[in-house]
Structure 1
Amino acid sequence: MAILSFKEIECMDCYKCIRYCPVKSITVKNGRAQIIESECILCGTCTVICPQNAKEDSNDIPKILELLSEGREIVATVAPSWITAYPKASFKSFSDALINLGFSHIAETAEGAYVVKSQYEKLIKDKWNDVIISSCCTTINLYIEHHFPEALDFLAPIISPMQVSANKLKELYPNAIVVFIGPCISKKAECGENGADYVITFDELEGWFRNSSIEPKEDDLVSMPKLSRSFPYSGGISDSMVKESEFQYMAVDGIENCINALQEVVSGNLKGYFIEMSACTGSCIGGPSFQKSQHRQILAKTLVKKQAVDESGDNTDFDVKADFPLKRKFFDKKVICMPPTEWQLSAILKKMGKNTMEDELNCGSCGYSSCREKAMAIYQNKADINMCLPFMKARTESFADKVIESSPNLILAVDIDMCVIMINNATCKAFHLSSPKDILGSPVSRILDEYNFVDLIASGEERISRNIYVAEYGLYLEQTLIYDKANSIISCVMKDITQLRMEKNRIRQAKMNSANMADEIVEAQLRTVHEIASLLGETAAKTKLAIMDLKKTILMDDEIF
């Protein structure tokens, strides 16, 4: 199962996850963002910045609950950054809360940190390499393996504190399931034979506490400070180490800063450096769990240092031995893709509407820093051409303009001040305007009565349809007004029904002439009938009624405008 995944919801085309992904390991297909697992470094940034909360990491709590229900023994190793998540608790009260959840034993991952920092000290003392990069941060390890293998030779070949602690627990509790609790999503990549069996983050733990109606009690009991608990803040690894005078100790945090530092490392210009690298700004106290809950780093660092550094200066540390292998190997896992030729890249750029260098806006709205980087992503099947918002906007506007200009209907739009902001050629022709420029920005009352426009706004309706007559231009129009409240724009679509109206008037006049002729016939017939009736003594009533019915039939018609 993938460690990071996306919920089954439609993206809102903000491309925020791509924009903030340091390695662009996200693709959008069929309206949904997807992780490119072979390139993801599990920094968790996308889980924090997605406005729809569509990104989520795999949650091991259901599996742990199932194991607890089966009666399995579950033990936990807790990252020293726990104090940042639960600042009012002591380690004892926090451990008690975990035991109430079902854990049988709680250990500090800081004990594993002690073993790891001791191994770093040995590498430095033995001058293992001119530059040594810490390998505690899984995200940095993944970045080097998948994206920057040139730096593999500088990465300390030592397992992480979590792996050391998990192995110690497996020695002490051979049949137990080991769970690591910390701020980091990427630690889930270390689960397996050489690490914890399961990993849960602090925000996942908080949900478990809440669902179980359990909360770590407030407690001011302070544990004796141990230097290796300083690992969670930037520079904390170096602070815990016994330093060698021949080496300089540097801390770099934040993935972009680390990427820049790695480029400097492989340049060969650095000699005698131990570089502590953390992908998260501020190191572990700035991890994804804490980013979501917006913990403050200054306070967090203060809390961590309080449990690590003795204010009197009489610092102590753990004394832990490891009787299992501590070395590990890192591998070149970079996926090599053939780059496009300049011709192929240019062809993609032209499809994006980038025909010249001036067209390459490099606006970043697609999530990529430049149009060429976006074109490269399209070539690699990571991105879609429709992700270019300026291109889509221009294409949509071009299409809309063509539809409006080719329409036989009269179309215009006015703003809230009743000034014309758009008009098509058909309207210009109907109102004897030489071009749209003749009226753009001018009051619509120059060509139309603005009463209907004002009435629409006052009515609160979104649309009204009426038939109007513009006497000055001799036009009969079927008018539909649409009010866009959000943008304060009224669109006016008018169908010229002048010819239809004139044809109806002609037909009506013809019918009136026929009716007048019928009246004359009636009068003539009546005179004749009366003369005959006077001679024969008969009434002409039936004849009159028949003639009147004939007249009504002639004048019968649909309602005329």
Structure 2
Amino acid sequence: MISDESYRRLFRDLLKAYYEDVFEEKIEEVLDKEELDKARFAKLISSLCGVDVKYSNNFAEDIKRAIETYKGSNKVVVNVNSCVRDCVEIDGRTICQNACPFDAIIIGKDTLGVEINIETCVDCGLCVDLCHNKNFVDKIEFMPLIEALRGNKKVIAAVAPAIVGQFGENVSMGQIRAGLKKIGFADMVEVGFFADMLTIKEAVEFDRHILREKDFMLSSCCCPIWVGMIKGKFHELIKYTSPSISPMIAAGKVIKKLDPECKVVFIGPCVAKKAEAKAEDLKDAIDYVLTFTELKDIFHVLDINLEELHEELSSQYASKGGRIYGRIGGVSIAVEDAVRNMFPDKTDIFTSEQASGIKECKKMLEDTLKGEIKVSFLEGMGCDGGCVGGPKTLIPKEKGKEMVDSFGEESKVKISTNNRVMNEFLKGLGIENLEDFNCKEKIEIFERKL
């Protein structure tokens, strides 16, 4: 059994050793303890390094080679311990089993062995957050990323809207950009800017879906857990769901369309984003995903104090609407503003409802199936409060919402449709004006098949 702090401390120790070129020696030191189940602990170390390497007499050498020749890994959530079943809550099932919206966790009653059903698991990471025994961990991809940062490739950090305030109330986005550049990133961009593009896409989808007062649409923006629930458990609702990609995926696709040689790293509060980046139809958009907690540990190891850095400023190009995507209700507000601007005749029939957290999302989807929903636009996020309540955040969700709202108000662009910088980027994609969002061929970059 390992605590969350012990887990993070081990990551920091391994990362420090990697930078100091004593990585293999550190691994051998960690494993050189008689009481350890070496095979299980090797699985933990492997996950902290973002790779899949089984224990052997050459484990340290094997894992170093796997990092240096990293080809990616499809599985994000890994089981590293047997279950002690000290958290049984309902019907003999553990907390993680009852919380998993996809029934993907199987625990043997006699052996206490844990299996993750790869057919139903979507790597949402809820079990990682809920298990106080740290039976589940999510892979950390930073060590393979180090090799890219040391190479000649341009690596761009795309940060989630929820990042504001996470590293200190007085730490500016310019200081976060400066810190990321010290790590080796070429630059940092706000994913809120690409959320502006998706806001327009969702407004067009609203116009297409909502023809009568009783019509409704489910937004697919932002949350892979919400999309996973629709696809896995409420398949009948797919036809009412927007086929839009998320702002994270849009960031990767647009940046790479304009600069095919660069790599894009998403930084956010969510384990599920690691899985979304690996989805078969999306996997070329984002190269690596880091969480806020991982980034904090990286700054710590590299002795980077954000508050002491001079700001690296850039154009403030994300609108208020794009920036508030980080909290529940933000998507609805942004899309309603765009609908009012683009389709004024639909303004009166735009009504919305939001659900945050698994229970609320499940109830909303069940009510929708029963025909008990009376609104035209439905927004769901798997974490309580939205992304600001994600499992890898560093501040309470209430403070996160306050910081996101404040940062949104700071933007000189209030509505995505008025974002002139975004319009210039869109021209580089062959989208000349807002009307082009009605052309399937031109907006293909922003769509996926659900």
What TM-score, normalized to structure 1? 0.54
- Could you say which residue in structure 2 is the equivalent of 1:93? 175
SS at match of 1:179: strand
- Could you say which residue in structure 2 is the equivalent of 1:240? 334
- Could you say which residue in structure 1 is the equivalent of 2:200? 118
- Could you say which residue in structure 2 is the equivalent of 1:299? 399
CA contact (8 A) 2:102 2:232 kept: no
Q: Deviations over 1:412-431 (max 9, x none)?
A: xxxxxxxxxxxxxxxxxxxx
CA contact (8 A) 1:5 1:34 kept: no
- Could you say which residue in structure 2 is the equivalent of 1:441? none
Deviates more, 1:219-228 or 1:90-99: 219-228
CA contact (8 A) 2:83 2:112 kept: yes
Shift of 1:220: 11
SS at match of 2:189: strand
Structure 1 distance, partners of 2:373, 2:354, is 15
Q: Deviations over 1:11-47 (max 9, x none)?
A: 2222332233233311124433232222224332211
| CA 168–154 in structure 1, closer or farther in 2 if over 3 Å, else same | same
Shift of 1:226: 2.7
| CA 126–83 in structure 1, closer or farther in 2 if over 3 Å, else same | same
- Could you say which residue in structure 1 is the equivalent of 2:82? 10
Which structure shows the bigger proportion of residues in strand conformation?
1
Structure 1 distance, partners of 2:230, 2:324, is 24
Matches within 5 A, 1:77-88: 77-86=158-167, 87-88=169-170
In structure 2, the gaps of 5 or more residues are: 1-72, 87-93, 341-346, 430-442
- Could you say which residue in structure 2 is the equivalent of 1:520? none
- Could you say which residue in structure 2 is the equivalent of 1:286? 389
Shift of 1:117: 1.0
Tell whether 2:249 aligns with 1:163: yes
- Could you say which residue in structure 2 is the equivalent of 1:180? 266
CA contact (8 A) 2:165 2:171 kept: no
1:256 corresponds, among 337, 352, 359, to 359
| CA 218–254 in structure 1, closer or farther in 2 if over 3 Å, else same | farther
| CA 155–220 in structure 1, closer or farther in 2 if over 3 Å, else same | farther
Structure 2 distance, partners of 1:268, 1:83, is 38
Matches within 5 A, 1:475-486: none
Structure 1 distance, partners of 2:308, 2:164, is 12
In structure 1, the gaps of 5 or more residues are: 331-561
The structure that has the greater radius of gyration is 1
RCO higher in structure (CA 8 A, sep ≥6) = 2
Structure 2 distance, partners of 1:270, 1:250, is 9
Deviates more, 1:251-260 or 1:321-330: 321-330
Structure 2 distance, partners of 1:55, 1:314, is 42
Shift of 1:168: 1.8
Shift of 1:315: 3.1
Matches within 5 A, 1:29-108: 29=108, 30-86=111-167, 87-108=169-190
Q: Deviations over 1:492-519 (max 9, x none)?
A: xxxxxxxxxxxxxxxxxxxxxxxxxxxx
- Could you say which residue in structure 2 is the equivalent of 1:204? 294
Q: Deviations over 1:234-260 (max 9, x none)?
A: 111122232421121211111111111
Q: Give the aligned length.
A: 325
Q: Deviations over 1:185-208 (max 9, x none)?
A: 111223254521111111111121
Structure 1 distance, partners of 2:292, 2:378, is 27
In structure 1, give the amino acid aligned to 2:112.
G
Structure 1 distance, partners of 2:130, 2:230, is 24
Q: Deviations over 1:337-381 (max 9, x none)?
A: xxxxxxxxxxxxxxxxxxxxxxxxxxxxxxxxxxxxxxxxxxxxx
| CA 227–91 in structure 1, closer or farther in 2 if over 3 Å, else same | same
CA contact (8 A) 1:237 1:276 kept: yes
SS at match of 1:52: coil
CA contact (8 A) 1:88 1:220 kept: no
- Could you say which residue in structure 2 is the equivalent of 1:328? 448
Aligned sequence identity (%): 26
Shift of 1:3: 1.0
- Could you say which residue in structure 2 is the equivalent of 1:315? 414
What TM-score, normalized to structure 2? 0.67
SS at match of 2:349: coil
- Could you say which residue in structure 2 is the equivalent of 1:190? 276
Matches within 5 A, 1:392-407: none
Matches within 5 A, 1:141-156: 141-156=227-242
CA contact (8 A) 2:82 2:113 kept: yes
CA contact (8 A) 2:157 2:267 kept: yes
CA contact (8 A) 1:94 1:216 kept: yes
Deviates more, 1:264-273 or 1:275-284: 264-273
| CA 201–74 in structure 1, closer or farther in 2 if over 3 Å, else same | same
| CA 210–119 in structure 1, closer or farther in 2 if over 3 Å, else same | same
Structure 2 distance, partners of 1:266, 1:274, is 14
Structure 2 distance, partners of 1:47, 1:279, is 14
Structure 1 distance, partners of 2:119, 2:77, is 12
